[in-house]
Structure 1
């Protein structure tokens, strides 16, 4: 009888702790997530419709690791690459070639817009309930955390693994004056393209990179938010180990 009473007492304490977790700690974590993700969203300085406010242009130096054969500067305006100047030193004769964007064209970086959309969707999921709403089950919280984490993972992946364009896609964008010969992918040696009346083959590939600080900030916010979501999921899951059934 004493053991049974102790067991019932322990169960009552655990149920009270779990109730406090649902009613208090969950909401504190949700508020923290909202604050972090709003900061992340603010990093994406994209123009909004009707704002009439131009986004400032930022210049970034392009660099390659271990070689000076490619140098350049790009100009980013929000989610648009609006200018780029690249100098390429030919490996055989050291001839210097200069390339630049057409002044009337911009290269929309869809991955930036997509990442911001995913962040805003995560914020919507966190705020899409009445301020006095109370969670009744742990399963309810787990489903919310999974949905938020899915949006944050998609946002992070769009920035860390952007899609590459094929030669036909580059040519059809209007950014350049060359046209592809066949369906070769731009970054593969052996790809063929035409410029003017001349036919060329890609013999070497150089990857240039630059650091965009505000995108790095956004990635840090994504990582911190994903960790908070997982920690809350872990706390809720711990309680299930004290019952023979899932307390959801």
Structure 2
């Protein structure tokens, strides 16, 4: 009898704690997530329709690890690579070759636009309810967290593993004056392309990188937000495991 009363009392306490979690803590976490993701969205300095404001250009040094065969500078304007100057030292005779973007072309970095779209979708999911809305079940919160985490994971993946263009895609973009020969994939030794009247084969591959601070900031915001979502899911799961347990 005493054990049954203790069990009922314990259950009543847990029910009150769970009610507080749904009514108070969930909304506090949602507000925190909104603030963080709005900061992340602001890092994507992309022009908006009708704003009339030009996004400033930023210059970044290109570098390769362990070699000085490739050096250069690129200019990023929002989600567009608008200028690039690259010097390539030939491995056999140390001849220096210079390459640059065409002045009338820009290379739109679709992964930046996609990442921002995913962030904005996550913000929409967090704000798409009345301010006085009350969650009724833990499952409802779990579904929301899963949906938000999906968008954040997609945003992070678009920045950390961007797609690689093939030679035909680059040739058709109008950024360059060469055309591919065959369907070889870019960055693959043995790929063929034509420039002017000359035919060339890719013999070596060099990967150049640069650090874009505001994109790094966005990735940090994504990671923190994903951790907050997971922590809230874990708290919900603790209560769910209790309701499912029957001694």
Contact 1:47 1:54 in 2 (8 A): yes
- The Cα shift of 1:241 comes to 1.9
1:199 partner SS: strand
Q: Please, which moves more after superposition, 237-246 or 169-178?
A: 237-246
Contact 2:138 2:240 in 1 (8 A): no
Contact 2:62 2:72 in 1 (8 A): yes
Tell me the alpha carbon deviations over residues 164-186 of structure 1, each in whole angstroms, 9 at most, x when there is no partner.
00000000000000000000011
Gap regions ≥5 residues in structure 2: none
> For residues 110 and 246 of structure 2, what CA distance do their matches in structure 1 show?
42
- The Cα shift of 1:245 comes to 6.6
1:242 partner SS: helix
> For residues 115 and 7 of structure 2, what CA distance do their matches in structure 1 show?
49
> For residues 87 and 189 of structure 2, what CA distance do their matches in structure 1 show?
19
- The Cα shift of 1:94 comes to 0.4
- The Cα shift of 1:153 comes to 0.1
Q: TM-score, normalised by structure 1?
A: 0.98
Instruction: Show the counterpart of 1:234.
Output: 234
- The Cα shift of 1:246 comes to 11
Gap regions ≥5 residues in structure 1: none
1:207 partner SS: coil
Moved over 2 A (4+): 244-247
> For residues 5 and 231 of structure 1, what CA distance do their matches in structure 2 show?
32
Instruction: Show the counterpart of 2:154.
Output: 154
- The Cα shift of 1:243 comes to 1.7
> For residues 179 and 189 of structure 1, what CA distance do their matches in structure 2 show?
17
1:59 partner SS: strand
Contact 1:112 1:159 in 2 (8 A): yes
- The Cα shift of 1:244 comes to 2.8
Tell me the alpha carbon deviations over residues 119-143 of structure 1, each in whole angstroms, 9 at most, x when there is no partner.
0000000000000000000000000
Contact 1:74 1:81 in 2 (8 A): yes
TM-aligned CA distance change 1:12 to 1:101, over 3 Å: same
After the TM superposition, which residues 117-196 of structure 1 pair with which residues of structure 2 at under 5 Å, given as runs?
117-196=117-196
- The Cα shift of 1:23 comes to 0.1
> For residues 179 and 8 of structure 2, what CA distance do their matches in structure 1 show?
77
Q: How many residues align?
A: 247
TM-aligned CA distance change 1:185 to 1:38, over 3 Å: same
Q: TM-score, normalised by structure 2?
A: 0.99
- The Cα shift of 1:2 comes to 1.0
Instruction: Show the counterpart of 1:203.
Output: 203
What is the root-mean-square deviation of aligned Cα atoms in Å? 1.3
> Does structure 1 residue 106 correspond to structure 2 residue 106?
yes
Contact 1:184 1:192 in 2 (8 A): yes
Contact 1:178 1:194 in 2 (8 A): yes
Contact 1:240 1:246 in 2 (8 A): no
